């Protein structure tokens, strides 16, 4: 453990580990987690982030997202970009629907007044504008946010190199 | 056994429904794990009925593994369909239609049809068996405590499947290791799903004297059934009256027709799509069709066909499906406004017909419906065609409300012109999953819950007997038909054919021609009908054969007996007269002389 712990805290800790088996097991779990973290440091980044790459691969496969973003589109007309955007939108939407179920982080119509209660979840609600004083705050909902209430990512095989987001396609005559 | 599992083994998609074997159980649908890309296993409500046979080294080692089969060497389901669209020579599709195609040897490896010689081929039975093995693996993975092979399984078949195709379906299931099987006709399954959903309320929606027409248009087949509502001892009874013939025509044809139409438009503008893009166009047409059907206010829906290469912007081809085209091509093309006397057109067969699936020549589903109702005039109560009083739709095609409305409109036109009343539409449930759910519900009904649809076999069956007459060159002696199984034989019953002078040669294969009729409901076992070959009330099905064991050359006089098994298949037996010999007559599904 690299964190510095004050002497009194260490004494208390030793004492509790000795007498409180539940607490002791929690400490051990914490140590395991730290160990797992350092082990993870040795895993190559593509393995560590395999599910992220898998998501990109799915968005490319179904919605050509990587093609779209990798292309310089400055010279194309809006009509061309629009046609391509339909491919991206249709395919990526399908993937998003399959993997996640989204709900607004906050109910209510955007643009309507609402109250942010005391003890609000600061991850779910971000305050902007004149942030001063203590909650409850009266404000206007500008963006309802998104929460993935269900995550259903597919199982991916270890047999594959996750870096290959899309294979080259060669057609045989 | 704690579950009954209903399996819809469809031409283009399979689905699984299940229900606990308890009085107040509720049905649910089982999501099917499958490969959606190499190395990616996801669950979907449907398993596309496709098998892809990969080339050596085509995919990285281990990337086709399934959670229950680490060494999987072929692909079934979503990825088979999507990848196979680009490599058609390795894709097995429509295996179910081949299963009912009596002009080919269904036990022989003939799929993928037209595959180059170095591609491994499998039989239609093997393909069906692979779908079932996949469903089984996925089920066992998700229900480790309840192995599928230990459950009661209801397997659905088109009502139009003949005795041989039903046998083969059972054979495929047995090869997949499934034993506790019962067959159920798909339109009946759809009605069971409706019964499940309506609950006790179904008595308010149908009443004695109603004749329910089930119109089931799946991805590849169209199937009609008539079910009557009668009363016995104060209880409502449902009886399946008649089923239609096998029509290879479905939703896939519709999407393809739209795609060909738009492809023509693109060609005129000088844009040529390759095969890969054409597949994408077909898929786009399906989406656009569903969008237009779901939003009656839209006049057109855009379709973008992605570029083949990585330059998406600029390379994407844009085309529009207009409502006018949709109405003209789909609604008027597949559901034309016709008279009940308009029969489907059949193209004249040229001398050399290429062996392939016998696709319906006429895309007009309403014409096929007219033919069905007219052919069943024996139960039309004095009319020239059967008057249904209620209609139930099934199959993904009818997500398009417009198509339902058109069928109802055309049917009501026939009815009112003939002095009848308009039909009422029974509101069914999920059009993709109803058959699987209805099948599970039927399994539950078989254990003594709820109402059961009666009906027995939807055909009468005949053995062909060549008339004894002197041979005349160039003249084929007429074949008389001996009725061996009357219409409406219930499961678990048998019919004895009154004594006939049949003598079989022992030790040599004996082959009988075999006929079926979906119309002749008055024939009794033992009835002899002259000239079945030139009578369009009969259709010739796969021949039946047997080899009687014993001293070669000896003649044994026999009686025939037909039985319908509990599973729902037909069995024919020869019983030795004045002896104990019993031989089963096998439906020969290998070949049929055309």
pLDDT (tens digit per residue) in B522-574: 898 888 888 888 888 888 887 877 777 776 677 778 888 888 888 888 888 88
**Which residues, numbered 13 to 52 in chain A, qualify as contacts with chain B under a Cβ-Cβ cut-off of 8 Å?**
none
A136 prior amide bond cis, ω within 30:
yes
Q: Is the pLDDT of residue B353 over 60?
A: no
Q: Which residue has the higher pLDDT, B505 or B157?
A: B157
- Per-residue model confidence as pLDDT tens digits over B275-298: 888 888 998 998 899 889 888 899
| Residue B257 burial by Cβ neighbours in a 10 Å radius (0-12, 13-18, 19+) | middle
3-state secondary structure of B317: strand
Q: Is the pLDDT of residue A42 over 90?
A: no
| Least confident interval from A17-21, A28-32, B169-173, B351-355 | B351-355
Q: What are phi and psi of B202, to 5 degrees?
A: -65, -25
Tokens of B315: 């390379």
Q: Is the pLDDT of residue A20 over 80?
A: no
d(CA A13, CA A19): 10
Cα B169 to chain center, whole Å?
Answer: 11
Note whether A76 contacts B: Cβ–Cβ < 8 A.
yes
The average pLDDT across B234-261 equals 87
Q: Is the pLDDT of residue B89 over 80?
A: yes
Give the pLDDT band of residue A31 (cuts 50, 70, 90).
Answer: low
Triad A87, A88, A94: Cα angle to 5°:
95
- Per-residue model confidence as pLDDT tens digits over B448-504: 888 888 888 888 988 887 766 665 666 667 788 889 889 888 888 888 887 776 777
Q: Which residue has the higher pLDDT, A12 or A65?
A: A65
Judged by CB atoms closer than 8 Å, whether chains meet at A160 and B60 is answered as yes
Q: Is the pLDDT of residue B348 over 50?
A: no
Judged by CB atoms closer than 8 Å, whether chains meet at B40 and A157 is answered as yes
- Residue B417 has a pLDDT of 94
Question: Could you say which of A61, A76, A90 has the minimum Cβ distance to residue B37?
Answer: A61
Note whether A122 contacts B: Cβ–Cβ < 8 A.
no
Note whether A73 contacts B: Cβ–Cβ < 8 A.
yes
Question: Could you say which of A71, A83, A157 has the minimum Cβ distance to residue B39?
Answer: A157
Question: Which residues, including other chains, have CB under 8 Å from residue A109's CB and lie 6 or more apart?
Answer: A141
Judged by CB atoms closer than 8 Å, whether chains meet at B312 and A88 is answered as yes
d(CA B96, CA B85): 18
Q: Is the pLDDT of residue B116 over 60?
A: yes
Give the pLDDT band of residue B234 (cuts 50, 70, 90).
Answer: confident
d(CA B161, CA A22): 66
Judged by CB atoms closer than 8 Å, whether chains meet at B306 and A98 is answered as no
Note whether A165 contacts B: Cβ–Cβ < 8 A.
no
Mutation for B interface: A97, A152, A157, A161, most B CBs within 10 A: A157
- Residue B547 has a pLDDT of 75
Q: What are phi and psi of B390, to 5 degrees?
A: -145, 155
Name the residue among B42, B77, B93, B35 with its Cα closest to residue B59: B35
- Per-residue model confidence as pLDDT tens digits over B128-182: 999 999 999 999 999 988 899 999 999 999 988 888 889 999 999 999 999 999 9
By C-alpha distance, the chain B residue nearest A87 is B304
Tokens of B309: 């290469």
- Residue B356 has a pLDDT of 65
d(CA B450, CA B428): 18
| Torsion angle (degrees, nearest 10) of CA B245, B251, B256, B259 | 150
pLDDT > 90 fraction of chain B, expressed in percent and rounded: 42
Q: Is the pLDDT of residue A7 over 60?
A: no
- Residue B494 CB-half CA count within 13 A: 12
Note whether A87 contacts B: Cβ–Cβ < 8 A.
yes
The average pLDDT across B393-400 equals 90
Q: Whole-model pTM?
A: 0.84
Residue with tokens 């160039």: B474
Sign of the CA dihedral running B37, B41, B45, B49: positive
In this prediction, the answer to ipTM > 0.85 reads no
Q: How many CB pairs under 8 A join A and B?
A: 80
Give the pLDDT band of residue B117 (cuts 50, 70, 90).
Answer: confident
3-state secondary structure of B162: coil
Tell me the pLDDT of chain B averaged across its residues.
87
Name beta bridge partners: B318: B304
Q: Is the pLDDT of residue B592 over 50?
A: no
Tokens of B254: 């519709």
Judged by CB atoms closer than 8 Å, whether chains meet at B40 and A156 is answered as yes
Triad B155, B157, B160: Cα angle to 5°:
160
Name the residue among A20, A35, A99 with its Cα closest to residue A61: A99
Which chain B residues touch A83 with a CB distance below 8 Å? 302, 304, 316-318
3-state secondary structure of B518: coil
Q: What are phi and psi of B195, to 5 degrees?
A: -60, -40
Which chain A residues touch B61 with a CB distance below 8 Å? 159
Q: Is the pLDDT of residue B349 over 50?
A: no
The average pLDDT across B369-381 equals 89
Q: Is the pLDDT of residue B438 over 90?
A: yes
Longest CA–CA span in chain A (Å) reads 77
| Torsion angle (degrees, nearest 10) of CA A63, A67, A68, A71 | -170
- Residue A39 has a pLDDT of 58
- Residue A101 has a pLDDT of 96
Which chain B residues touch A159 with a CB distance below 8 Å? 39, 60-63, 65
The average pLDDT across B251-268 equals 91
Q: What are phi and psi of B252, to 5 degrees?
A: -65, -40
Question: Which residues, including other chains, have CB under 8 Å from residue B425's CB and lie 6 or more apart?
Answer: B390, B391, B392, B393, B404, B408
Judged by CB atoms closer than 8 Å, whether chains meet at A67 and B304 is answered as no
CB B15 within 8 A of CB B439: no
**Eight-state DSSP code of residue B111:** B
- Residue B299 has a pLDDT of 94
Q: Is the pLDDT of residue B68 over 50?
A: yes
Q: Is the pLDDT of residue B197 over 80?
A: yes
CB B410 within 8 A of CB B416: no
Q: What are phi and psi of B428, to 5 degrees?
A: -85, -175
- Residue B499 has a pLDDT of 73
For residue A72, give how far its alpha carbon lies from the nearest alpha carbon of chain B (Å). Answer: 9
């Amino acid at each position: 453990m690299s964190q510095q712990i004050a002497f009194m805290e260490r004494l208390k800790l030793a004492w509790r580990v000795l007498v409180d088996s539940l607490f002791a097991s929690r400490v051990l779990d914490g140590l395991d987690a730290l160990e797992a973290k350092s082990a993870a440091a040795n895993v190559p980044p593509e393995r560590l982030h395999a599910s992220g790459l898998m998501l990109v691969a799915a968005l490319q496969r179904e919605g050509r997202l990587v093609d779209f973003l990798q292309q310089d589109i400055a010279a194309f007309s809006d009509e061309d970009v629009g046609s391509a955007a339909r491919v991206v939108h249709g395919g990526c939407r399908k993937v998003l629907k399959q993997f996640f179920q989204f709900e607004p982080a906050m109910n209510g119509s955007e643009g309507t007044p609402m109250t942010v209660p005391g003890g609000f979840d600061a991850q779910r609600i971000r305050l902007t504008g004149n942030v001063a004083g203590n909650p409850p705050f009266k404000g206007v909902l500008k963006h309802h946010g998104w929460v993935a209430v269900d995550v259903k990512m597919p199982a991916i095989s270890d047999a594959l190199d996750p870096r290959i987001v899309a294979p080259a396609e060669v057609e045989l005559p | 056994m704690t579950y009954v599992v209903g399996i819809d083994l469809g031409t283009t998609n399979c689905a699984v429904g299940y229900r606990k074997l308890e009085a107040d159980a509720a049905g649910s649908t089982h999501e099917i794990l499958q490969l959606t890309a190499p190395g990616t296993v996801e669950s979907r409500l449907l398993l596309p009925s496709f098998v892809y046979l990969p080339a050596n080294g085509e995919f990285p080692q281990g990337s086709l593994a399934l959670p229950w089969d680490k060494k999987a060497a072929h692909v079934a389901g979503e990825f088979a369909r999507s990848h196979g669209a680009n490599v058609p020579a390795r894709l097995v599709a429509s295996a179910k239609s081949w299963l009912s195609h009596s002009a080919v040897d269904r036990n022989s490896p003939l799929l993928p049809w037209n595959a180059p010689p170095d591609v491994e081929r499998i039989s239609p039975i093997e393909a069906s068996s692979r779908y079932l093995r996949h469903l089984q693996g996925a089920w066992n993975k998700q229900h480790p405590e309840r192995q599928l092979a230990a459950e009661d399984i209801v397997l659905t078949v088109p009502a139009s499947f003949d005795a041989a195709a039903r046998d083969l379906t059972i054979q495929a299931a047995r090869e997949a290791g499934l034993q506790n099987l019962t067959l159920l006709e798909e339109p009946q399954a759809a009605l069971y799903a409706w019964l499940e959903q309506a609950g006790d309320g179904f008595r308010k929606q149908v009443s004695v004297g109603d004749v329910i027409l089930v119109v089931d248009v799946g991805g590849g087949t169209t199937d009609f059934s008539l079910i009557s509502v009668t009363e016995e001892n104060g209880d409502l009874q449902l009886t399946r009256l008649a089923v239609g013939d096998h029509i290879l025509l479905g939703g896939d044809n519709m999407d393809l027709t739209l795609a060909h139409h738009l492809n023509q438009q693109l060609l005129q503008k000088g844009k040529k799509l390759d095969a890969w893009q054409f597949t994408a166009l077909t898929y786009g047409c399906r989406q656009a069709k569903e969008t237009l059907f779901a939003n009656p206010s839209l006049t057109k829906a855009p379709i973008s066909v992605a570029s083949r290469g990585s330059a998406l912007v600029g390379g994407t081809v844009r085309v529009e499906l207009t409502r006018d085209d949709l109405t003209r091509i789909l609604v008027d093309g597949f559901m034309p406004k016709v008279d009940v006397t308009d029969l489907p057109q059949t193209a004249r067969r040229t001398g050399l017909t290429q062996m392939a699936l016998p696709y319906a020549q006429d895309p007009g589903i309403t014409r096929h419906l007219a033919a069905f109702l007219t052919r069943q005039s024996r139960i039309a109560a004095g009319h020239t065609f059967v008057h249904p009083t209620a209609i139930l739709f099934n199959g993904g095609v009818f997500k398009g409300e417009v198509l339902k409305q058109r069928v109802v409109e055309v049917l009501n036109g026939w009815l009112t012109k003939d002095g009848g009343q308009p039909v009422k539409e029974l509101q069914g449930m999920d059009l993709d999953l109803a058959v699987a759910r209805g099948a599970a519900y039927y399994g539950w009904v078989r254990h003594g819950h709820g109402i059961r649809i009666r009906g027995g076999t939807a055909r009468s069956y005949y053995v062909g007997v060549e008339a004894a007459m002197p041979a005349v060159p160039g003249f084929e002696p007429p074949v008389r038909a001996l009725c061996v199984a009357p219409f409406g034989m219930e499961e678990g019953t048998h019919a004895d054919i009154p004594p006939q002078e049949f003598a079989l040669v022992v030790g040599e294969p004996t082959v009988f021609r075999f006929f079926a009729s979906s119309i002749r409901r008055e024939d009794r076992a033992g009835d002899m009908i002259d000239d079945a070959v030139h009578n369009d009330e009969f259709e010739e099905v796969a021949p039946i054969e047997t080899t009687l064991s014993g001293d070669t050359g000896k003649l044994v006089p026999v009686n025939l007996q037909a039985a319908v098994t509990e599973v729902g298949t037909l069995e024919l037996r020869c019983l030795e007269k004045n002896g104990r010999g019993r031989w089963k007559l096998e439906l020969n599904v290998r070949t049929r002389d055309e």
